[in-house]
Amino acid sequence: MSDTLNEPTVLVPVNAAEPTEPSNALIELLSPHRVVVVGYYPVPDQASPEQFQDEYGETAAATVEEIAGRFAVRGGEAEPIVVFTRDRQATIDRVAEETDCDAVLTGGAIGDQLDRILVPLKGDANLERIVAFIGPLLAESDASVTLFNVADSDEEESSGEFLLRGAADRLADDGIERSRIEWRQDRSGSPGTAIVDAASEMDLIVVGETEPSLRERLLGDVTDQVITDSTHPVLVVRNA
């Protein structure tokens, strides 16, 4: 994974057996950056991946290459990868590690616009990477960002405000216009529910994974609730 995120790398999973065209909004947001399109082809338990690859390999490769090509329209790098697999999530996790991806797109329906980005933040080790990731993303688009924090007490609210103001200052120092940066706090008590409610006004959510593996990250934490309950796409920023 890159030490600096001047050129973020985003992994975009697609079902190579039943592909759908990426939305123009997603292409507009990600195409200036490096994109890895991993086409996973589901293989049933009674069949072998080699058997399916022999039968469908050429078609799947052509499909994924065509989708990757759409992300290269603005000069960014787009790498197509096809994997015949029985375990979609394990494949995504492995490819994200092998291709040094900074974030993985997961969950949610992608609409006609990705102009409003919600970024939940807390005082964890991944904070710097999240802020470093969204800076270049915003710099190459006209999107606005809402930095969001959920607090359980007056003390947490105070420290959360300090965190949000610092993140906003960091983005402004990186050249993002102040008019495109908002910060907001919530005292509802349930971080996952508060984030999902706030996301109803947004087009995209950017969160940090809480474990070094996407598979571990998906087991019962706030990020999992956001991915499960929100109808919006989620970009998960990986831990270094």
In tens, the pLDDT along 200-210 reads: 889 999 988 76
Spatial CB neighbours of 113, under 8 Å, sequence gap ≥ 6:
25, 203
Percent of the chain with pLDDT over 70: 90
Last residue of a domain, one of 101, 127, 154: 101
- Six token digits for residue 150: 């959920």
Last residue of a domain, one of 67, 101, 135: 101
Q: What is the pLDDT of residues 56-83, one digit of tens each?
A: 999 999 999 999 999 987 777 999 999 9
Look at the block and give the residue holding tokens 């096809």. Answer: 82
Contact criterion met (CB below 8 Å) for 119 and 143 = no
> Does 158 lie in the same domain as 212?
yes
In a domain, 31, yes or no: yes
> Does 187 lie in the same domain as 80?
no
Domain carrying residue 95: 9-101
Spatial CB neighbours of 73, under 8 Å, sequence gap ≥ 6:
27, 31
Give me the pLDDT at residue 2, please. Answer: 42
CATH of the domain at 218: 3.40.50.620
Enter the pTM of the model.
0.88
> Does 69 lie in the same domain as 123?
no
With a cut of 80, say whether residue 123 has pLDDT above it. no
Q: Tell me the C-alpha to C-alpha distance, in Å, between residue 10 and each of 5, 58, 96, 99.
A: 11, 25, 9, 10
In a domain, 1, yes or no: no
Tell me the pairing of strands 116-120 and 144-150: parallel
Based on the structure, what is the number of domains in the chain?
A: 2
Burial state string for 118-148 with b = 16 or more CB within 10 A and e = fewer than 16: bbbbbeeebbebbbbbbbbbbebbebbbbbb
